[in-house]
Structure 1
């Protein structure tokens, strides 16, 4: 019995320490979210982990892997859960749908909505549903509905919902999610946009969704009807250099077969950032302005030095006709910052490397420190003239929706716009 008391005391200490860290980092900003994260015993929902691992503020706990060992379900890190709960702005008495079950997040939601609210959690995997249901019941949350279904259809029998929280990586927004959301309700979803995942807070109004917040994140991909794997292009037919596209690869990709036989062009931008500085707006800016934007990965076991990225598993890249280019960086002389540069290969490599560098410089002068793009989600088939307009935008067509990224210059001093996207600025 004394061991149990000691463990409980240690768990409470670790839980408080994690919450204190998240308050200091700005991931927890409201009293209700702080209160529930101090109250609910996270370790009771991740029995697979040690107490120290359960209360690591920035690390997820994997709860299921596939036959290849890849994670297919996890309990998100406390930082991610706090971030999304803050984005959702849960109020007492609300009806909430959680898409992607684990048990713990549903417990947080049940505490936030109180006895006058309702929480439904849904997952496609029967093992995950059984696990979540057992943990919720064992920890006193019998009021939470646990449903097994493909969440692409939502859970219509308990709709409408004031809030929908998606805790799996989504590529698209199924119509059911909007249809089951109240007018003025909010959807929080880790949405993949051109290979970049952002936890978006989206307000529902007038038949479409508009962003209220955006945070960098990573999630286990959603499975089921709306699973989307993207496309890969092997440069020169080898797995040494792979270009990953999210919305269709360029036509005539065979034109790249001889690209790696040309000299590599290199341009340095003069733009520097701190080594721990968040560059999410730069990523989204390049994804907006580059037509054939992609992510380049390099197999280090096959690497012959044809390309020399600073990050072999995730480099921002784009195809340009017969060639391609990518972003890289190098440390400054004082070793406190890094400078962005561009590499390119192909017959027009010098010009394309300069184009990439110019985009980085434009981001530096017009968008760095700003709110990032305003993101809207309209139903597929919405005419262009009914989408947001502006001098700098990108429309991305998906199966169910049209996603629009619209930019305004950060230097305009539009404080109201910046206030609606407080977490997209560089820190």
Structure 2
């Protein structure tokens, strides 16, 4: 017996067990079947060239392919994200599953174990280098019957459908019609969907021609290739260090907003505080439900705070309208229990006061129920939702909270 191989296998098993425990401590892999497949699957076999510590880091993605500019093209998602989305997908034995975004093949192997039949899993990616490597990994790990397809993921893979479950491990801005058509009535679809500058893993269940969410979680993924881009972006400063990102259905013009931060500012404070490690993403999510002017402000970290001082420099929620802009900010606030951050809003332009007051109002709505998650309902684009929606090319989204 090769002692080195035996020792490595034992080390991998120990690291894998530790990985699962840490993932579970964050509330993921709550589904016992998801927990078991994560414990059983040798993740290091799907990230060759990386050491065991990297392969089994519970909160770290492993980049496996990059574009020429250095940005990531494909990766093995962090295990906690994998667990989160598999919990959301709720695969049952015998389910036929389509995965968009092959990655390293690791997720497809987990899906095969969950469904109980490798022939029921189809995974597609547009990049032949990615699919070739994944095919190699799956074959070596004993999952040779998983179908690996090279093609445009927006088209799905109709010949092996329809599917009980569809999952995307790349981030779409819209829901392609092919995915709707290839999902069975009552099926489930989990997508890291983008709207208003942020990304959420949304677990949808098909209900009478609509998709209705029962789980919405913060996430971040490589964007879906082959999708006609619906997100817009543009610099609002001469040096390009500050930019806005918005959706195609929003009547924003970054040229109109160019230089808006040079205008006098108005600052409002909410009286609501948060700890340094507390999540604030719920504010942004709440804003997308309540105000169609919600967008994203990106500020380079080198920009002085007197020029722009957003809540999170590279990704901060904002409101933009005409020649005016307001964004969420914070400042250190000392309390009897120590240091906290008070949330507020800074506005510029003719409607600065209106926009800052609106931001404070939405922070007021968020604060009493900070962990609340909305229902996201997707309608086909040709239908008329019951109220104003977030309009994409192929779908319309409604984001609603239970008190509405």
Query: Taking structure 2 as the reference length, what is the TM-score of the superposition?
Result: 0.93
Matches within 5 A, 1:46-85: 46-85=47-86
Q: Give the match's secondary structure for 1:129.
A: helix
Does residue 408 of structure 1 match 2:391? no
Q: Give the match's secondary structure for 2:389.
A: strand
Gaps of 5+ in 2: none
Distance change in 2, residues 1:322/1:175 (3 Å): same
Match for residue 421 of structure 1?
Answer: none
Find the aligned partners of 2:127 and 2:219 in 1 and give their Cα distance. Answer: 23
Find the aligned partners of 2:128 and 2:258 in 1 and give their Cα distance. Answer: 45
Matches within 5 A, 1:181-260: 181-224=183-226, 226-228=227-229, 230-248=231-249, 250-251=251-252, 253-260=254-261
Match for residue 299 of structure 2?
Answer: 298
Find the aligned partners of 1:188 and 1:348 in 2 and give their Cα distance. Answer: 38
Match for residue 92 of structure 1?
Answer: 93
CA displacement at 1:260 relative to structure 2: 2.8
CA displacement at 1:212 relative to structure 2: 1.4
Find the aligned partners of 2:149 and 2:211 in 1 and give their Cα distance. Answer: 26
CA displacement at 1:319 relative to structure 2: 1.1
Gaps of 5+ in 1: 411-427
Let me know the Cα RMSD of the aligned residues. Answer: 2.0
Find the aligned partners of 2:253 and 2:132 in 1 and give their Cα distance. Answer: 48
CA displacement at 1:264 relative to structure 2: 1.8
CA displacement at 1:117 relative to structure 2: 6.3
CA displacement at 1:2 relative to structure 2: 1.6
Match for residue 417 of structure 1?
Answer: none
Does residue 353 of structure 1 match 2:356? yes
Match for residue 6 of structure 1?
Answer: 7
Match for residue 395 of structure 1?
Answer: 389
Number of equivalent positions: 400
CA displacement at 1:333 relative to structure 2: 1.1
Q: Give the match's secondary structure for 2:30.
A: coil
CA displacement at 1:325 relative to structure 2: 0.8
- Larger mean CA deviation between 112-121 and 129-138 belongs to 112-121
Matches within 5 A, 1:23-422: 23-101=24-102, 102-115=104-117, 118-224=120-226, 226-228=227-229, 230-248=231-249, 250-251=251-252, 253-301=254-302, 303=304, 305-334=306-335, 335-365=338-368, 367-370=369-372, 372-383=373-384, 387-388=385-386, 394-409=388-403
Q: Give the match's secondary structure for 1:332.
A: strand
1:61-118 CA distance string (max 9 Å, x none): 0010000000011110100111111111111111111111021001101111113861
Find the aligned partners of 1:362 and 1:303 in 2 and give their Cα distance. Answer: 30
CA displacement at 1:275 relative to structure 2: 2.5
1:379-398 CA distance string (max 9 Å, x none): 11112xxx245xxxx51111
Query: Taking structure 1 as the reference length, what is the TM-score of the superposition?
Result: 0.89
